[in-house]
Amino acid sequence: MAAGPSFSRASSTRAIVRDAVIIDLAGSSHVIVPDNALGAALDGMQLGQVAKILTPRNLALMKSVGLRRTTYRLRTELGIEAWHWNEEGQWSDPTRSQGYWTSSDHPSSHPDVTWGYSLPRRGDTIDQANDTGYSRLDDGDRASFWKSNPYLDRRFTGRPANRPQWVVVSFETPQQIDAANIAWALPYATAFDIQYWSGRDEFDRAGRWVDFPVGPQSRDRFPGDEVIRLAPAPLAVRFVRILLTQSSDTAPSPTDDVRDRLGYAIAEVGLGVLSPDGAFVDAVRHGAGRNIQTQVNVSSTDPWHRAIDRDPQTEQPSLDLIFRDGLNGGLPLMVPVGVFYDTPENAAAEASYIQRRGWPVRRLELGEEPDGQFIAPEDYADLYLEAARRIRSVAPELELGGPSMQGALTDTWPVPESGRSWIGRFVADLRARGALDQLQFFSFEHYAFDDVCEPLGKMLRDETQLLDRILDRTIAAGVPTTVPWVISEYGLSPFAGRAMSLVPSALFSADVVGHFLSRGGNIAFMFGDTPGWPSNQAFPCAGFGDMMLFEADATGQSRWPMPMYFAEKMMMRDWGAPADQPHTLWASSGEARDAQGRPMVLAYALRRGDGTLSVMLLNRDEDAAHDMTLRVSSAGGSATFPGATASVVQYSAAQYEWLDLGPKSRPTRDRPPTRFRVPPGEAIHLPAMSLTVVTARLGDAGAARPAAE
């Protein structure tokens, strides 16, 4: 490890830009406690990985980064599965080990692994987890069926009338359609409409749902398998929606459980044309596999399932394991409850169990990524409030929030009739029902870029403006700023690739944290806490890599610390130290700009209680080093920083190099950040694409404390 600024200077042979930044201590600021403002997200895993990955050695290395706050993510909710958060509990139909499941809040055992159970009444072709399931609406089996969620019936929601449910069939290219073949199940729709989308695609703002000429349909008895003529001549359409507006409220057999007869059920759907001889020619592909069938999305899915539906490929670390291993670092854990694919009874039992164990849990996050599951925001408000009501009855002191949005700016297609902002409509519905107080914190995920083949410098400089746009538009949509805002997961992209394993990923993490907190955010959780392996999910041009603190060897043990590890550690151990104390945060930027006017260098300054100033500097310039002059101004005057000898911690390509070997890619140079000291008043040398923390005591310019404190 080099001692002295010469190491930093020698690390860059590119052009050098003279730059300057002014940190205005009289400007807008926020107070943060790093232990409470930075955290890590722990997700569900694949078969065998809980035991393989959560080993004592890996756990110690995960904790070494210094992140003590943890949020537990619910992979089952993404995979259209109900979560048995423990395997002891009660079926609504115990004789046949099926129905609606509620885990016991007094289990006799505490296993390390819990499981998700696939929903056999599933309507969606694709999901956002392992994506191995398929829709029962076009699986070619009339004995299987889709059924909507019975908890959306007015008997549970308290609404004066039921909201519509729907099925959307999406063709890859426009198809000629003038007829539908629907094989109904129980409960069937006594009133429904069949519509087509008028837009070019689902993103077309001018698009709308148009009734086929046949108009609304009604049935006064079970229609069975019927072919419906939709138009006198075929229409070329890509998207068809079956809008279900009134249910028969009938069950397949006598039952004492009202949930069996609420909602809608369809066994199979076909769309196509009637030939001159009256035969139906189907354009829908049918088969028991997502790669075989035409894509279908539905408004909701019945959480009914059976013991035989356990998904052996997806493991959730148990709550007992997380607390036993100390992954919460002694601080409150944010815990999820299933909502969209689970029952409010199971949510309440989980809250009761947490309370009974006395675990440090303050926040329960209701659901995960409902906006990405295509549910109408008003429907999700119904499920959210029912879960909240049940939880309040057993654990009134817990903070309830969510909905952990897939993205804060999600569109509402395929139900755009009441507005395009998913979160805006969700919040508006809570407000209209006098229930906005049940949203005690707002959470969303932030994966900045779908295209991970873009130039990294451009992506980094886009990120700051992108996060500003997200926050501004979310505020404009009506999300209250009087409750804490939480980034429940953040990462460069939802799709794995090389960019996540390069030095700029460290700068991305630092910018998300610094910028979100400077805008008043409460806490940001990085995704990738557990060791992992390089992968490529969507774009061959992206190469191999992933979000992870450590790359693992073949046995699952942490071997190589990644740029994100060093970035998070620098933020906790250097920039934010002492992490358990309050610090005042300011954001500023350098004078040098790119062709689009975006600053090349960002600065996030923390003033500690002892008067020390700690400045985190991000050089997002891929082509040049920056010799940065820092000035600190306040009501007491202005001075060059550092005014005394400064400690510097710096991370750049001098410490790290990535070797492209496909799925066996790994670091070939992997050193910790360099540490050195800088004399008073000297410019800080920032190598291209580097993360730097400069710490020194303030001079006269920092004597006056800002009004914000």
Residues whose CB is less than 8 angstroms from the CB of residue 290 and which lie 6 or more positions away in sequence, other chains included: 125, 126, 131, 132, 133, 134, 135
241 pLDDT band, cuts 50/70/90, is very high
Cα–Cα distance for residue pair 1/650, rounded to 1 Å: 11
3-class DSSP string for 426-465: HHHHHHHCCCHHHCCCEEEEEECCCCCCCCHHHHHHHHHH
Summarize pLDDT for 102-114 with one digit per residue, the tens. Answer: 999 999 999 999 9
Asked whether residue 4 carries a pLDDT value surpassing 80, the answer given is no
Those residues with Cβ within 8 angstroms of residue 453's Cβ, 6 or more apart along the chain or in another chain: 497, 539, 541, 542
Confidence of residue 700 (pLDDT cuts 50, 70, 90): low
CATH of 6-26+583-702, one of 1.10.580.10, 2.60.40.1180, 1.10.10.10, 3.50.50.60: 2.60.40.1180
The whole-angstrom separation of Cα 379 and Cα 185 is 22
Q: Does 2 score more than 70 pLDDT?
A: no
For 551-566, the DSSP string reads EE-TTS-EEEE-HHHH
The pLDDT confidence band at residue 7, using thresholds 50, 70 and 90, is very low
Joined tokens for residue 513: 């944290």
pLDDT over 50 (residue 269) = yes
Say if residue 235 is exposed, middle or buried (CB neighbours under 10 Å; 0-12, 13-18, 19+): middle
Residue 11 has pLDDT above 50, yes or no: no
What is the pLDDT, as a whole number, of residue 58? 97
pLDDT at 14: 62
Note the pLDDT of residue 699: 64
* C-alpha dist (Å) from residue 112 to 81, 109, 277: 19, 10, 62
**Averaged pLDDT score across all residues of the chain:** 94
Helices marked H in 142-253 — which ranges? 154-157
The yes-or-no verdict on residue 708 having pLDDT over 70 is no
pLDDT tens per residue across span 385-441 = 999 999 999 999 999 999 999 999 999 999 999 999 999 999 999 999 999 999 999
Compute the average pLDDT of residues 632-643. Answer: 87
Contacts of 299 (CB under 8 A, 6+ apart): 148, 164, 165, 166, 167, 374, 375, 376, 379, 415
Q: Which CATH number fits domain 146-302: 2.60.120.260, 2.40.50.140, 3.20.10.10, 2.60.40.10?
A: 2.60.120.260
Nearest to 84 by CA among 49, 110, 37, 116: 116
How far apart CA 242 and CA 332 sit, in angstroms, is 45
Amino acid, single-letter form, for residue 375: I
Strand (E) positions, 553-641? Answer: 558-561, 583-589, 601-607, 612-619, 624-634, 637-641
Angle at 365 between CA 451 and CA 493, to 5 degrees: 10
Report how far apart, in Å, the C-alpha atoms of 40 and of each of 71, 72, 225 are. 6, 9, 51
Quick one: average pLDDT of 22-47?
95
Alpha-carbon torsion angle 515, 517, 521, 522, nearest 10: 150
Give the model's confidence band at 705: pLDDT under 50 very low, under 70 low, under 90 confident, else very high.
very low
Please tell me the number of Cα atoms within 13 Å of 688 on its side-chain side: 12
Q: Are strands 550-552 and 558-561 parallel, antiparallel or unpaired?
A: antiparallel
Tokens 């790290």 correspond to: 656
Q: How far apart are CA 272 and CA 283, in angstroms?
A: 5
The two three-digit tokens of residue 489, written as one number: 């997961």
- Rounded mean pLDDT, 88-107: 97
Check whether 541 has a pLDDT greater than 50: yes
Q: Residue 682 class from Cβ within 10 Å (0-12 exposed, 13-18 middle, 19+ buried)?
A: middle
Contact (CB, 8 A) for 647 and 4: no
Among the listed residues 336, 286, 265, 316, the one whose alpha carbon sits nearest the alpha carbon of residue 120: 265
Instruction: Output b/e per residue, 329-350; b: 16+ Cβ within 10 A.
Output: beebbbbbbbbbbbbbbbbbbb
Look up residue 681 and give its DSSP letter. Answer: T
- Gap between the Cα atoms of 310 and 289, Å rounded: 18
pLDDT for the residue 707: 31
pLDDT above 60 for 690: yes
Residue 441 to residue 332: CA distance in whole angstroms: 15
Q: Is 82 left (phi over 0), alpha (psi -120 to 50) or beta?
A: beta
- pLDDT value at position 330? 86
Arithmetic mean of pLDDT, 181-188: 98
How far CA 534 is from CA of 75, 316, 531, in Å, comes to 20, 22, 10
Q: Cβ neighbours of residue 523 under 8 Å, at least 6 residues apart?
A: 36, 37, 38, 39, 69, 484, 486, 487
Q: How confident is the model at residue 706 (pLDDT cuts 50, 70, 90)?
A: very low
What residue ranges do the domains of the chain occupy? 6-26+583-702, 146-302
Token pair 């509620």 is found at 102
Instruction: State the DSSP H helix or E strand holding residue 352, giving kind and residue range, or none if neither.
Output: helix 344-357
Indicate the pTM of the whole model. 0.95
100 DSSP assignment: E
CB 337 within 8 A of CB 351: yes
**Over 60: is that where the pLDDT of 469 sits?**
yes
Q: d(Cα 507, Cα 580) in Å, to the nearest integer?
A: 23
Q: What is the mean pLDDT of residues 531-546?
A: 93
- Which tens digits make up the pLDDT trace of 333-355? 999 999 999 999 999 999 999 99
Q: What secondary structure does DSSP assign to 281-308, as a single string?
A: EE-S---SSTTTSPEEEES-----EEGG
CA 294, 295, 298, 304 dihedral sign is positive
Question: What single-letter amino acid sits at 225?
Answer: D
- Rounded to a whole number, what is the largest CA-CA distance in the chain? 93
* pLDDT computed for residue 245 by the predictor: 98
| Tokens linked to 72 | 């537990």
Interatomic CA distance for residues 693 and 686, integer angstroms: 10
DSSP state of 135: -
Mean pLDDT to the nearest integer, 318-342: 93
Q: Which helix (H) or strand (E) holds 35?
A: helix 34-37
